[in-house]
Amino acid sequence: METYTIHISPGLQYHFQVGQYPQHPSGGCKYRIFQDKQFLASLEAGSQDFLHVCQNPGKVDLEILHLLAEQIELRHPSRGQLAGLDNIEFDSDDELEAPPQNN
């Protein structure tokens, strides 16, 4: 299990443990969220591979779960999200240029 910390403000943060489980064809949830060994919620990938709430028996604030889903997606991008990066191209306008020199 991985530990994720959600920072809401300097004095307010949440710590969650996230377990990743194989998604079952019957629609099982892929990520299970725990806090202090207590099951709180689970997330699953939607049709575009972005995570959304599957179950929330711990009644965690949905905004916090969405922030957690974003962190999980950053650490574990799906194939669909990575495929979009293959189409990125750079042209001459995107090259890094040195700042002008003042003589």
The answer as to whether 6 is a domain residue is no
The answer as to whether 23 is a domain residue is yes
What's residue 100's pLDDT?
A: 61
**Full-model pTM:** 0.65
Residue 26 C-alpha from the chain's centroid: 23
Number of structural domains found in the chain: 1
For residues 6 and 69, the answer to whether their CB atoms sit within 8 Å is no
List the domain range (segments joined by +) for residue 59.
Answer: 18-79
The answer as to whether 27 is a domain residue is yes
The answer as to whether 1 is a domain residue is no
The answer as to whether 68 is a domain residue is yes
What's residue 44's pLDDT?
A: 87
What's residue 48's pLDDT?
A: 74
Reading the chain (103 residues) residue by residue, the pLDDT tens digits are 677 777 767 778 888 888 887 655 555 678 889 988 899 999 988 777 788 898 999 999 999 999 888 888 887 665 554 455 455 455 555 554 555 666 6
The answer as to whether 90 is a domain residue is no
The answer as to whether 52 is a domain residue is yes
The answer as to whether 25 is a domain residue is yes
